Amino acid sequence: MREEAGSVVVVGSLNVDHVVTVERHPLPGETVIARSLTFLPGGKGANQAVAAARRGAATTMIGLVGDDGDAEIATSLLAESGVDIAGVGTVEGPTGLATVTVDAAGENTIVVVPGANGRMTADVVERSASVIGGAAVVILQGEIPADGIARAAQLATGRLLLNLAPVIELGPDVVRRADPLVVNEHEAALVLGHLRPGQTVPETEAELVAGLQDAGVPSVVITLGARGALVADGDDVHAVPSPRVVAVDSSGAGDAFVGALGAALAAGSTLLEAARQAVRVGAFTVQRAGTQASYPTLADELPSVSEGEDSGAGSPDASRGAGTDSMAVPT
């Protein structure tokens, strides 16, 4: 099947985010008083689709919502951002839900209730076979059932971007089709443990990248929070530094990174070029509250990495301070 140049198809989750702001996160068993509660569209899949569309990619969302009132909220910014939502179906029951708690420093915790996303099985994905097969880039995450992810990976004829977050058990053949696999350092260790059961999992980021590639993953991007990202493509490994910005809310910035990465790859960028762009998109996003509404368009000016910052992250093992004023790509 011919791939449509520049097109991105996201197969994944749609949620409504209940965003609670607090001064600080509660300790186990503790009660704190929230500052505010907001209902916003979310879900890793929908977030990534909005991010890709706002960065210029012709983007299609494949997923499910429930037959409740939350469905309209979940799809509102997809349509507004130009995402084709003809592939978003409706099933009986609730739309996916995420409770996001954000503290005064912009750090967040997230609890997800799958709802309709839990019914994105292989049979449902199969209904969109021609759309998935025709995309230049297919983006997947870990918020739908494993068999749905596996079927989407099989249907993809273009580049497969697998953001295995959260980490769920997939067949090794599915993970090895990822080009790239995008994970943070903790997720990278879990994925490598699944690919090499019984073997010792390395601790350093460079060793994790090497281990994943040795296990058969063609290319890997490890997001490193304030330090940006580590990109491995073939024999080349590069540290991509993050611009220093004042973080307001890190919710969904990792999804902004993934969507922007997919859009740049679909437009013909190399993986390293795409990651450099995506890190800047992540830095833009954390300076604003919310998830999808904070994502930049092509008209927005993205923060840049200074020459000094670039040299400070020049090796795969580089490690810089991770204060909240420098957060760009949350892990």
pLDDT tens across the length of the chain (331 residues):
444 558 999 999 999 989 899 999 999 999 999 999 999 999 999 999 999 999 999 999 999 999 999 999 999 999 999 999 999 999 999 999 989 898 998 788 888 899 999 999 999 999 999 999 999 999 999 999 999 999 999 999 999 999 999 999 999 999 999 999 999 999 999 999 999 999 999 989 999 999 999 999 999 999 998 789 999 998 899 999 999 998 887 778 899 999 999 999 999 999 999 999 999 999 999 988 778 999 999 999 999 987 655 543 434 433 322 222 333 444 4
36: number of CA atoms within 13 Å, CB side? 10
Distance separating alpha carbons of residues 17 and 40, to the nearest angstrom: 5
Phi, psi of 201, deg, nearest 5: -90, 125
Those residues whose C-beta lies under 8 Å from the C-beta of residue 131, and which sit 6 or more positions away, are 9, 60, 62, 87
Those residues whose C-beta lies under 8 Å from the C-beta of residue 314, and which sit 6 or more positions away, are 239
Distance separating alpha carbons of residues 136 and 144, to the nearest angstrom: 21
pLDDT of residue 5: 59
Distance separating alpha carbons of residues 69 and 121, to the nearest angstrom: 23
Strand pairing category for 219-223 and 229-233: antiparallel
Among 68, 103, 233, 255, which one carries the catalytic annotation? 255
- Which parts of the chain are beta strand (E)? 4-11, 15-21, 36-42, 58-66, 84-91, 96-102, 108-113, 135-141, 159-163, 181-184, 219-223, 229-233, 236-240
Q: What residue segments make up the domains of the chain, in order of their start?
A: 4-14+42-94+114-326
For residue 318, count CB atoms less than 10 angstroms from its CB and return exposed for 0-12, middle for 13-18, buried for 19 or more.
middle
pLDDT of residue 290: 77
pLDDT of residue 307: 63
Distance separating alpha carbons of residues 181 and 221, to the nearest angstrom: 6
What value, to the nearest 5°, has the Cα angle with vertex 311 and ends 221 and 239?
Answer: 10
What is the dotted CATH code of the domain comprising 4-14+42-94+114-326?
3.40.1190.20
3-state SS, residue 300: coil
Distance separating alpha carbons of residues 294 and 252, to the nearest angstrom: 9
pLDDT of residue 313: 41
Those residues whose C-beta lies under 8 Å from the C-beta of residue 4, and which sit 6 or more positions away, are 58, 134, 135, 136
Query: Is 255 an active-site residue?
Result: yes
pTM of the predicted protein model: 0.89
